[in-house]
């Protein structure tokens, strides 16, 4: 690097930009599936966001609907799954509400209505108070959990437990205050949370008597239990479809429930997400982002090696094998690549942190609040290992052929400064 500073600087900059671009793509793919509070157990989640039901009667009338579940369907299909650790139901579409204290100005907030198990499945950090329990949920009590930003705006403090708040002009009692949640936690996100029984959503059934306003998340004891959970769900679905037979409605499985990775790419209710197609697409993107800079870096490596032909010849003359020459050249370039990789990784983290609202914007998001990513989401051991893997592959692609050609140069020609 000291002997050839210009080429070294150009090489480091080129490699840094290549790793930067690749790692931005990796982060965009990781954030929807990587665990972070309050969705720290994403690797153990199974989601049933929608239910698909078809109608077919003896007169030939047909129809299909794809919507979230009603509470009756959630109870029959999910709530008593014996192979799961916990199951929660919550409003599948984010709602808006107005909150204020008596005599205060209403504040528009994002609201999620949940059951009591919601607080078991998702790991919120409570600053004050505690979540509402099963008794409050079953009784439909008007209790509410708010985030610290709402608490400070309404009360000027985060100590708000037991105080009264008006939600759409109906009185609710604050049960607890939690840390603010990023919109990137797509299932747990909200600014306020209430029992859906307090709003009567447990009684809401749409046209089919199957669909309604609720989605479902299952927390498994271990990821290895996914097959058992799906098998138990399939048995329950078969029994539920038998009960629905007189209505001429039947629920289609579409291989639900989905794990976090499959659910993250499946915004469509009437199509099963194609996880393999998504992985092939990502692989093609990574290959393109690796090959294009590798071709350019290979030319620079070739140029550096031309100036070292005599040195390689002397080493060969003193007994160095072709394999040893190749290994040395690759090792030297790997050192440069790793330096550039660290720079590229740091640049990608800074860029993703500063431009999170652009990079992680969510399709069909009902909230106007921009997505916010913090360092814990972006800088993970897996991200670092991905960066090092890409550095190693990029080094092999850009150095392998030039190193092989340099090792093939005859000793006599190499010592005289000729490559052929």
Task: To the nearest 10°, report the CA torsion of 220, 226, 227, 228.
Answer: 0
User: Residues 301-349: pLDDT tens digits?
Assistant: 766 666 666 666 677 676 777 777 778 877 877 887 888 888 988 898 8
Tell me what pLDDT residue 359 has. 81
Distance of CA 174 to the CA centre of its chain: 31
DSSP string, 183-227: TTSTTT--SEEEETTTTTGGG---TTSSB-SEEEEEEESSGGGHH
Torsion 296-300-301-306 (CA) sign: positive
Q: Which residue has the higher pLDDT, 30 or 371?
A: 30
156-170: average pLDDT: 95
Closest C-alpha among 83, 110, 79, 113 to residue 217:
79
Predicted confidence at residue 335, as pLDDT, reads: 83
Could you tell me the end-to-end alpha-carbon distance of the chain, in angstroms, rounded to an integer? 26
pTM (two decimals): 0.83
Rounded mean pLDDT of 119-135? 97
For residue 40, pLDDT over 90 is answered with yes
Alpha carbons 354 and 2: distance in angstroms, whole number = 34
pLDDT > 90 in the chain, percent: 50
What integer pLDDT is reported at residue 281 of this predicted model? 92
Q: How many CB atoms lie within 10 A of CB 47?
A: 21
The pLDDT of residue 408: 66
Rounded to whole angstroms, how far apart are CA atoms 344 and 323? 30
Query: Residue 418 pLDDT > 70, yes or no?
Result: no
Contacts of 166 (CB under 8 A, 6+ apart): 99, 100, 101, 102, 106, 172
Higher pLDDT, 32 or 390: 32
Q: Cα angle at 127 between 126 and 131, to 5 degrees?
A: 35
Of the candidates 61, 67, 34, the one whose C-alpha atom is nearest the C-alpha of residue 49 is: 67
User: 172 pLDDT band (50/70/90 cuts)?
Assistant: very high
Greater model confidence, 152 or 348: 152
pLDDT, mean of residues 113-129 = 97
Report which DSSP code applies to 33.
T
Determine the pLDDT at residue 388: 78
Phi first, then psi, for residue 232 (nearest 5°) are -65, -40
């Amino acid at each position: 690097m000291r002997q050839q500073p210009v080429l070294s600087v150009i090489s480091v900059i080129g490699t840094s930009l290549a790793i930067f671009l690749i790692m931005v793509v990796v982060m965009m793919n990781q954030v929807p599936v990587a665990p972070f509070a309050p969705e720290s157990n994403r690797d153990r989640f199974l989601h049933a966001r929608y239910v698909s039901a078809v109608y077919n009667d003896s007169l030939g009338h047909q129809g299909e609907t794809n919507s979230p579940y009603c509470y009756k369907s959630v109870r029959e299909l999910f709530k008593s799954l014996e192979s799961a650790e916990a199951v929660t139901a919550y409003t599948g579409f984010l709602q808006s509400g107005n909150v204020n204290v008596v005599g205060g100005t209403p504040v528009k907030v994002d609201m999620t209505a949940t059951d009591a198990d919601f607080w078991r499945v998702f790991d919120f950090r409570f600053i004050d108070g505690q979540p509402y329990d099963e008794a409050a949920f079953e009784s439909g009590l008007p209790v509410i959990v708010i985030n610290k930003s709402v608490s400070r705006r309404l009360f000027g403090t985060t100590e708000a437990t037991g105080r009264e708040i008006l939600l759409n002009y109906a009185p609710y009692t604050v049960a607890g205050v939690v840390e603010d949640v990023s919109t990137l936690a797509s299932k747990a996100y909200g600014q306020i949370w209430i029992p859906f029984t307090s709003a009567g959503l447990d009684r809401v059934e749409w046209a089919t008597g199957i669909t309604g306003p609720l989605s479902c998340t299952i927390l498994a004891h271990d990821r290895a239990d996914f097959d058992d959970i799906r098998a138990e769900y399939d048995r329950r679905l078969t029994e539920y479809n038998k009960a629905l037979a007189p209505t001429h409605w039947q629920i289609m499985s579409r291989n639900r429930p989905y794990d976090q990775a499959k659910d993250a790419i499946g915004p469509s209710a009437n199509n099963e997400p194609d996880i393999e197609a998504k992985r092939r697409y990502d692989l093609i993107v990574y290959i393109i982002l690796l090959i294009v800079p590798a071709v350019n870096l290979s030319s620079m490596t070739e140029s550096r090696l031309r100036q070292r032909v005599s040195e390689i010849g002397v080493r060969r003359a003193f007994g160095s094998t072709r394999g040893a020459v190749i290994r040395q050249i690759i090792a030297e370039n790997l050192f440069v690549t790793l330096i550039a990789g660290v720079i590229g990784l740091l640049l990608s983290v800074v860029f993703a942190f500063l431009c999170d609202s652009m990079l992680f914007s969510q399709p069909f998001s009902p909230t106007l609040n921009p997505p916010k990513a913090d360092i814990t989401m972006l800088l993970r051991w897996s991200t670092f290992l991905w960066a090092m893997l890409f550095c190693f592959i990029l080094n092999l692609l850009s150095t392998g052929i030039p190193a092989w050609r340099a090792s093939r140069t005859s000793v006599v020609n190499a010592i005289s400064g000729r490559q052929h």
